[in-house]
Amino acid sequence: MGKNRRRRSQTLAKRRTRPGAPPGTLVVDPAADSTHVRVIGFGNGGFHESVLTDLNKLDSIRKQHPTVWVDVTGLGSESTLRTLATQLGLHPLAMEDVVNVHQRAKVDEFSDSLFVVARMIDGEDAFQSEQLSFFVRPGLLLSFQERAGDCWEPIRQRLKFHRGKVAEAAADYLLYALLDAVIDSYFPVMEKIAEQADGVEEAITMDRNGSHLMQVHELRGQLLALRRSIRPHREMLNELVRDSTSFISHETRVHLRDCYDHVIQLIDSVDTYRELTSDLRDYYLSTVSNSMNEVMKVLTIISTIFIPLSFVAGVYGMNFKDNSPWNMPELNWYYGYPFALGLMAAIASGLLVYFRMRRWF
């Protein structure tokens, strides 16, 4: 339980800009990964890929290729980020959002670029997600990742070997391809959670173990984190599809609608399994309560049977002497003891028959 609480606390927003600081203040996280810039230029049958150590070479690469993808990994180098922002003329408010990695998925349009924020799931851990930031301009896509490792390697291979439409497409279509890969990466996590939920449901049916309730609680936490991460993408993609902007072509909007449908499907799945885990929790508690009721019913029946027997034993255990005509004659009767035992047996049998007739057990 403590481990899960620590994992959830890592998803809390930690804004490093001081209150009252000027808008667009760039303050990087000291614990962030070092910054690396990789450039991929493509189009018209050409291809170029390199890791830039000298950002001044970026202009020459952009002149050689119709479309250039600048992929920035790690947000720990403030000087590199400032140089990129200055060289490409990136808006200070957008750059502030880039380094403050608690943003929801959103779209902001500036005069010279379109700024898009998305969240990528970290492997198969629903509690961990990574902020992705994009700047889209004609012939240029600039992406920022918190750390190395992503789901875009198939897209890089398609660009390298000139496979698929993306190899000759513009920057807005490349943005769609990257967003589509990010959204699709949620499906394996969702499938894993679905399998776990089905397994817990079957386990609760077979065995009422206290650990099952912890598993249900863990699943609810994963679904909540997944919902918090994926849900803002619906509004973000809806803006890209419906808002008229010169940075997204009509043809790309058609493909973004398919991406939007995938987000709706994921949200529906998350909501469905959240309801399922709620039902599983209620089902588990009801089975435990029913089991307790069965135990209490048996104990109550036993107690009810022994109450009159205790009364009979108490009456015949008073041992009054026979110096009064009102004393019990059975005390001096030869068959008094068998009579008392038989009376107890008759009362117990009568109660059992009565309980049986009333279907109390």
Name the residue range of residue 330's domain.
295-357
Helix (H, G, I), strand (E, B) or coil at 68: strand
Residues 29 and 178 placed together within one structural domain of the fold: yes
Residues β-bridged to residue 36 = 73
Structure token pair of residue 316:
């015949």
Residues 226 and 323 placed together within one structural domain of the fold: no
Neighbours of 47 (CB within 10 A): 15
**Has residue 2 been placed in a domain?**
no
Residues 61 and 165 placed together within one structural domain of the fold: yes
Q: How many whole angstroms separate alpha carbon 145 and alpha carbon 125?
A: 17
Query: What is the DSSP-derived secondary structure letter of residue 101?
Result: T
Domains held by the chain: number: 2
For 109-118, 229-238, 291-300, which range has the lowest pLDDT when averaged over its residues?
A: 291-300
Is-contact 46 65, C-beta < 8 A? yes
Residues 304 and 271 placed together within one structural domain of the fold: no
Tens of pLDDT, residues 130-167: 999 999 999 999 999 998 888 899 999 999 998 889 98
Sign of the torsion angle spanned by Cα atoms 328, 331, 336, 341:
positive
Residues 106 and 215 placed together within one structural domain of the fold: yes
Domain boundary among 258, 287, 316: 287
Q: How many helices (H) and strands (E) does the chain have?
A: 11, 7
Tens of pLDDT, residues 274-332: 888 888 888 777 877 877 888 788 888 888 888 888 888 887 777 766 666 777 777 77
Domain boundary among 261, 287, 313: 287
Residues 103 and 206 placed together within one structural domain of the fold: yes
Residues 344 and 195 placed together within one structural domain of the fold: no
**Has residue 175 been placed in a domain?**
yes
**Has residue 1 been placed in a domain?**
no
Residues β-bridged to residue 115 = 108, 135
Residues 88 and 67 placed together within one structural domain of the fold: yes
**Has residue 47 been placed in a domain?**
yes
CA 3 to chain centre: 15
When pLDDT is averaged across residues 221-227 and rounded to a whole number, the result is 89
Q: Is the pLDDT of residue 43 over 60?
A: yes
Residues 70 and 193 placed together within one structural domain of the fold: yes
Q: What is the CATH number of the domain that holds 98?
A: 3.30.460.20
**Has residue 6 been placed in a domain?**
no
Residues 117 and 46 placed together within one structural domain of the fold: yes
Q: Is the pLDDT of residue 350 over 90?
A: no
Residues 192 and 309 placed together within one structural domain of the fold: no
Tally of CA atoms within 13 A in the half-sphere of 257 that contains its CB:
8
**Has residue 247 been placed in a domain?**
yes
Q: What are phi and psi of 104, to 5 degrees?
A: -80, 160
Helix (H, G, I), strand (E, B) or coil at 145: strand
Residues 227 and 312 placed together within one structural domain of the fold: no
**Has residue 107 been placed in a domain?**
yes
The H or E element spanning position 117 is strand 114-122
Domain boundary among 287, 313, 344: 287
